[in-house]
């Protein structure tokens, strides 16, 4: 059995000022065996494909991996760029003799100028190039999809966890389905429903209501014989696209009416709880005041989730921490390439420096903040992730400088956006995690896979940014008019 593998995935933040370019994509693209190298032994979709295929002694033909970009979230793909990679993928597949099937790791939130539903278009081109063999697709749950994708693919499987800790398992589910389909033991039959709900990522954590309520129902349906997999993708609200919003996908073994019944049931349940996907969060000033109260009450450490910052340079929360006298805190990434470069040229470890940093990338970023402190670390740290997400994967950071502002206030100025979904981003620059009362992360939910076990409180704050919790503050132009609560009809009628 000969199976082709490709990854073509991007989460496009169409509100970002950073363009998606061929050069950025190419810097992280891989071909042939290199497609597998990144994923081998690391929990990922492709490792999931490999595990099952190797057990089946299938021949694996890796073709292309594209979609990662360095730095902040990037905006619309130019169509030329999309076509270039889609044609390369199709061309690569067309050259493989006696192909039996294709596994595609897509994302679901790619946005391309001139291609309204890029994932469906990828699958159509792949299907044609591969001579009509079965094509199975895995998706992130931040996927905006409609029936065009389920019409084009033979099976669509969405991860079930946010933080995303089941990409490998989802890869295995898709691969088993592919193998059984090729062998004639299984007839994947899909139904898709769109309940018409948009929600902010920060309210989509899978272990908590309302997503848990939906996922519990899905797992219940999966107990029924002939129901193979039931997925809910709550969607990605920071892509202004025609199919933005939640989708429900049921895959059964040859039973169309059962697939329809399952998808309809889960979709109706979602409609009945749609208001629970939205709640007000405190802004930076009130949020930091509440966090300081928690610290005073001994509930430490507190993780502040600055979910809206997609450029990594927002200063709203840092300003408040400084203004309100917070101590023992760490901000593991304040993106500012100019400030990082200046420090690289002019400062050394041990120097005391004053520098303005942050607050430059967009109108939402806040004012630059003047930081005075001792340089404790300079360099490009290389480390391995230690949390449940991609545990063991190696990270090569850009240039970073850690400043100690006194009173154990640690700020890392970084050349590019830098997260810390587990402790490795902090320890790699010499921060003692146990000494911290407050950790500020520019993230929404992923960090919780690690930090929920460490932090006393996870505290989301809705600071200004390109990815706000309150979606009604975004100016959409392309989304479906009946999408709750941001569609044009909804806004007019309420
Ligand atoms: Zn995601």
Give distance in angstroms: CA of 297 to centre of ligand 1: 34
Q: pTM for the complete prediction?
A: 0.91
What's the 42 CA to ligand 1 centre distance in angstroms? 17
Instruction: Quote the ligand 1 centre to 94 CA distance (angstroms).
Output: 30
Q: Calculate how far, in angstroms, residue 98's C-alpha sits from the geometric centre of ligand 1.
A: 34
Query: What mean pLDDT do residues 239-268 have?
Result: 98
Residues in the chain, how many?
494
Q: Name the token pair of 210.
A: 């309302």
> So what's the pLDDT on residue 263?
98
| Chain position carrying tokens 């004012």 | 367
Q: For residue 376, how many other CB atoms are within 10 A of its CB?
A: 16
Q: How high is the pLDDT of residue 238?
A: 97
CA 109 – ligand 1 centroid, Å: 9
- Tell me, in angstroms, the distance from the centre of ligand 1 to residue 95's CA: 32
> How far away, in angstroms, is 107 Cα from ligand 1 center?
8
Span from the CA of 341 to the centroid of ligand 1 (angstroms): 31
- The CA-atom distances, in angstroms, between 317 and each of 87, 404, 444 are 44, 17, 15
- In angstroms, what is the span from residue 406 Cα to ligand 1's centroid? 36
38 Cβ contact partners less than 8 Å away, ≥ 6 residues apart: 30, 44, 46, 65
Could you tell me which of 113, 131, 196, 137 has the C-alpha nearest to residue 6? 137
Ligand 1 geometric centre to CA of 15 (Å) = 17
Structure confidence at residue 325 (pLDDT): 98
pLDDT band at 72 (very low <50, low <70, confident <90, very high): confident
Say whether pLDDT at 71 is over 80. Answer: no
Q: State the distance from the centre of ligand 1 to the C-alpha of 487, rounded, in angstroms.
A: 22
Write out pLDDT tens, residues 467-489.
999 999 999 999 999 999 999 98
Res 30: pLDDT: 97
CA of 384 to the centre of ligand 1 (A): 21
Distance CA 266, CA 232 (A): 8
Collapse the DSSP code of 114 into the 3-class scheme (helix H, G, I; strand E, B; otherwise coil) and give the result: coil
- Binned at pLDDT 50, 70 and 90, residue 494 comes out as low
218-228 average pLDDT score: 97
Mean pLDDT (whole number) for 213-228: 98
pLDDT at 254: 98
Going by pLDDT thresholds of 50, 70 and 90, the confidence category of residue 187 is very high
pLDDT tens profile 33-67: 999 998 888 889 999 999 999 999 999 999 999 99
Check pLDDT > 90 for residue 319.
yes
Helices 79-94 and 118-129: crossing angle, nearest 10°? 30
Instruction: Using the mean position of ligand 1's atoms as its centre, give its distance from the Cα of residue 9 in Å.
Output: 11
The rounded Å distance from CA 141 to ligand 1 centre is 6
pLDDT (mean) for 70-95: 95
Residue 491 has pLDDT above 80, yes or no: no
What is the structure's pLDDT at 492? Answer: 65
164 CA distance to ligand 1 middle (Å): 7
Distance 346 CA to ligand 1 centre (A): 39
301, pLDDT greater than 80: yes
Crossing angle between the packed helical segments 211-221 and 256-272, to the nearest 10 degrees: 160
The alpha carbon of 234 and the centre of ligand 1 are apart by a number of angstroms equal to 10
pLDDT > 70? residue 326: yes
Write down the pLDDT at residue 70.
83
205 Cα to the center of ligand 1, angstroms: 10
Q: How many Å lie between the centroid of ligand 1 and the Cα of residue 140?
A: 5
Q: Measured in angstroms, how far is the CA atom of residue 415 from the centroid of ligand 1?
A: 24
Compute, in angstroms, the gap from residue 52 CA to the centroid of ligand 1.
23
Yes or no: say if 13 and 466 are a contact pair by the CB < 8 Å rule: yes
407-466 pLDDT, tens per residue?
999 999 999 999 889 999 999 999 999 999 999 999 999 999 999 999 999 999 999 999
Q: Is the pLDDT of residue 232 over 60?
A: yes
Rounded to the nearest angstrom, the distance between the alpha carbon of 143 and the centre of ligand 1 is 8
Q: What is the mean pLDDT of residues 380-391?
A: 92
Sign (positive or negative) of CA dihedral 347, 349, 355, 360: positive
Nearest Cα to 462, choosing from 359, 311, 316?
A: 316
CA nearest neighbour of 88 among 126, 120, 123: 126
- What is the whole-number distance in angstroms between the Cα of residue 292 and the centre of ligand 1? 30
CA of 443 to the centre of ligand 1 (A): 11
The predicted pLDDT at position 78 comes to 97
Residue 1 confidence (pLDDT):
96
| Cβ atoms of residues 329 and 439 within 8 Å | yes
Query: Is a pLDDT exceeding 60 seen at residue 370?
Result: yes
Using H for helix, E for strand and C for coil, what is the string for 244-255? CCCEEEEEEECC
Domains of the chain: 2-277 (3.40.50.10350), 284-469 (no CATH)
- Looking at residues 240-269, what average pLDDT do you find? 98
Over range 312-340, report the average pLDDT: 98
């Amino acid at each position: 059995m000969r199976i082709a593998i490709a990854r073509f995935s991007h989460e496009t933040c169409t509100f970002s000022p950073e363009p998606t370019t061929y050069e950025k994509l190419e810097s992280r693209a891989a071909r042939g065996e290199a497609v597998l190298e990144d994923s081998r032994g690391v929990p990922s979709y492709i490792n999931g494909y490999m595990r099952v295929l190797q057990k089946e002694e299938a021949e694996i033909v890796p073709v292309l991996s594209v979609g990662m970009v360095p730095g902040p979230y990037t905006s619309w793909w130019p169509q030329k760029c999309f076509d270039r990679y889609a044609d390369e993928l199709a061309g690569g597949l067309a050259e493989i003799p006696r192909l039996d099937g294709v596994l595609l790791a897509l994302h679901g939130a790619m946005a391309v100028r001139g291609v309204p539903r890029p994932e469906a278009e990828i699958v159509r081109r792949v299907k044609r190039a591969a001579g009509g063999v079965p094509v199975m697709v895995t998706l992130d749950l931040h996927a905006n999809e409609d029936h065009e994708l389920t019409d084009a693919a033979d099976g669509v499987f969405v991860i079930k966890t946010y933080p995303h800790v089941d990409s490998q398992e989802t890869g295995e589910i898709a691969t088993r389905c592919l193998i059984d389909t090729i062998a004639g033991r299984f007839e994947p039959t899909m139904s898709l429903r769109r309940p018409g709900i948009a929600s902010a990522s920060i309210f989509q954590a899978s272990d908590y209501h309302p997503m848990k309520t939906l996922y519990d129902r899905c797992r219940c349906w999966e107990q029924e014989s002939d129901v193979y997999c039931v997925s809910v993708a709550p969607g990605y609200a920071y892509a202004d696209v025609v199919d933005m919003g939640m989708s429900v996908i049921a895959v059964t073994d040859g039973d169309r009416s059962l697939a329809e019944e399952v998808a309809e049931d889960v979709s109706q349940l979602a409609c009945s709880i749609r208001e629970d996907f939205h709640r007000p969060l405190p802004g930076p000033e009130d949020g930091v005041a509440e966090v300081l109260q928690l610290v005073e009450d001994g509930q430490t450490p507190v993780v502040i989730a600055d979910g809206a910052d997609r450029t990594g340079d927002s200063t709203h929360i840092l300003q408040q921490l400084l203004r309100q006298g917070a101590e023992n805190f760490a901000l593991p990434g304040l993106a500012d390439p100019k400030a990082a470069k200046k420090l690289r040229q002019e400062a050394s470890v041990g120097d005391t420096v004053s520098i303005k940093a942050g607050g430059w990338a967009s109108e939402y970023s806040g004012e630059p903040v003047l930081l005075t402190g001792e340089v404790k670390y300079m360099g490009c740290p290389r480390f391995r992730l230690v949390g449940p997400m991609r545990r063991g994967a190696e990270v090569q950071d850009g240039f970073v400088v850690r400043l100690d502002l006194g009173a154990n206030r640690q700020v890392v100025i970084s050349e590019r956006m830098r997260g810390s979904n587990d402790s490795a981003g902090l320890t790699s620059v010499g921060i003692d995690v146990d000494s911290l009362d407050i950790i500020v992360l520019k993230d929404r939910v992923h960090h919780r896979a690690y930090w929920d076990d460490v932090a006393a409180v996870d505290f989301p704050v809705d600071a200004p940014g390109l990815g706000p919790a309150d979606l009604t503050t975004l100016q959409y132009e392309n989304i479906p008019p009946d999408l709750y609560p941001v569609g044009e009809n909804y806004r007019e009628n309420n």
